[in-house]
């Protein structure tokens, strides 16, 4: 079964590598957004099965975007996985306290990213 994933990240390299990984290795349908605002709009119209959300973005950061997703009845139940370069234990606890499905760290391995996501979401 093909899953639909929305990647929200301001770094084009990360979006491209993650999208290629999820499409090629995972066999999933991928849509991308380059900002929190664009991500909110795309999440509402695209209705993905999950969202891979960068933490540090200019304008609207990942945690703010996550809170906005939860306010919208159309997007409030979509599982969100944060993607971050912040690996301090205190950061990890703060992110987990938001209510996200998981916190994945950058850099990630493109060959195992789909398996990581599938494992967290019970898609295996």
85 band by pLDDT with thresholds 50, 70 and 90 = confident
Average pLDDT over residues 94-107: 84
The pLDDT value given to residue 87: 66
Q: Give the CATH number of domain 4-121; options: 2.40.50.140, 3.40.50.2300, 3.30.70.360, 3.40.50.1100.
A: 3.40.50.2300
Per-residue model confidence as pLDDT tens digits over 4-35:
999 999 999 999 999 999 999 999 999 999 99
23 three-class SS: helix
Average pLDDT over residues 92-96: 71
**Quick check: bond before 107 cis, omega within 30?**
yes
**Quick check: bond before 56 cis, omega within 30?**
no
């Amino acid at each position: 079964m093909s899953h639909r994933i929305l990647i929200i990240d301001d770094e084009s390299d990360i979006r491209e590598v993650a999208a290629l990984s999820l499409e090629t290795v995972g066999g999933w349908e991928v849509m991308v957004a380059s900002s929190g605002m664009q991500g909110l709009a795309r999440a509402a119209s695209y209705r993905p099965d999950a969202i891979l959300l960068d933490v540090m973005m200019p304008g609207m950061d990942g945690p703010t975007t996550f809170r906005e997703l939860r306010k919208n009845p159309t997007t409030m139940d979509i599982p969100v996985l944060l993607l971050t370069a912040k690996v301090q234990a205190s950061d990890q606890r703060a992110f987990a306290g938001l209510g996200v499905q998981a916190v994945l760290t950058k850099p990630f391995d493109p060959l195992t990213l789909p398996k990581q996501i599938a494992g967290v979401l019970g898609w295996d």
